[in-house]
Amino acid sequence: MKKLYGVTVPLVTPFDEAGRLDEASLEKLTEYLIQKGIQCLYPAGTTGEMMYLTVEERKRVAETVVRKTAGRAVVYVHTGAWNLEDTIVLSRHAAQIGADGIGVVTPAFFKLTEKELFHYYKAVSDSVPEDFPIYLYGIPQCAVNDLTPELAGRIAEACPNVVGIKYSYNDMSRIQKFMTLRGGEFSVLCGPDDLFAVTCFAGGDGTVSGNANVIPEHYEALWEAIHRGDVKEAEKLQRRTNVLNEVLSSSRNIARYKAVLKQKGILAGAGMRAPLMPLEEKAAEEMLTRLEELRYTEVLA
């Protein structure tokens, strides 16, 4: 079973002026990231505005990315949805179209017990082939519900195809505890970009970075430094990552990514799915100017 590693990009979902899915721009973004050397693609996740897409739109996003990738990178489709039925439909669809695996966020809005969370993931695991890998996805600051290492361990023990977790809360202690599951074989990726290097040097497998939509060269350089064990170079690039975070992820990060991708000519537009709104022209100009002031224009070129 293929696992996520290195730099995994949760792709933005492009829309045209009428608010419809822009598959041509999505194909262009997919190709751009592959050509920049990104290891893994993760469509229809949080950065892809997943909860504001219909099930059919999410299927089209998954199909577009899998088709365009054509085996040149690992593709995990995010399939977590508002309810178990839709999650299972999307999970089975991902397996049928040839995705390498799926990520499944915890159910959102209602606070669930650990028993309810366990049975949710067990049902998803049972709905797909036993050799089709699944990553748990914890982002409690958005989804309300959280995954403890103890619960993740119970799920992994009951579900052999649950192979890892993407954890997007800034808690390095908990991230390290996930690494001890399955005798250290449980795959762990961090969501916070500022934990990329430390997660990997502590034994994790990489990061899932929204910023890498727009500056993949920077994240690839950091991953290469980590991979070859060049600690000093990794430290330098991680510090640069932290500065970039202040510009790209300070607020309304998805709208920021789309503004940069439009400026680069990769997306035809910077539209968002309502009620989300695009970045205002002045704010976009200020962001691009700030990036230029920080002399990251060579990264963005």
DSSP state of 106: P
Catalytic residue among 3, 59, 68, 166: 166
Tokens of 287: 């962001």
Bridge partner residues of 74 (DSSP): 40
Catalytic residue among 120, 137, 167, 219: 137
Bridge partner residues of 164 (DSSP): 135, 187
Which residue type occupies 2?
Answer: K
Cα separation, 258 vs 248, whole angstroms:
11
Cα separation, 181 vs 178, whole angstroms:
6
64-to-30, 69, 130, 242, 247 alpha-carbon distances in Å: 9, 8, 25, 32, 30
Tokens of 30: 């997919």
The DSSP result for 272-298, as a single string, is --TTS-PPPHHHHHHHHHHHHHTT-HH
Q: Is 166 a catalytic residue?
A: yes
Q: Are strands 101-105 and 206-208 parallel, antiparallel or unpaired?
A: unpaired
In 3D, which of 118, 184, 126 has the Cα closest to residue 152?
A: 118
Q: Is 137 a catalytic residue?
A: yes
Q: Please list the active-site residues.
A: 137, 166
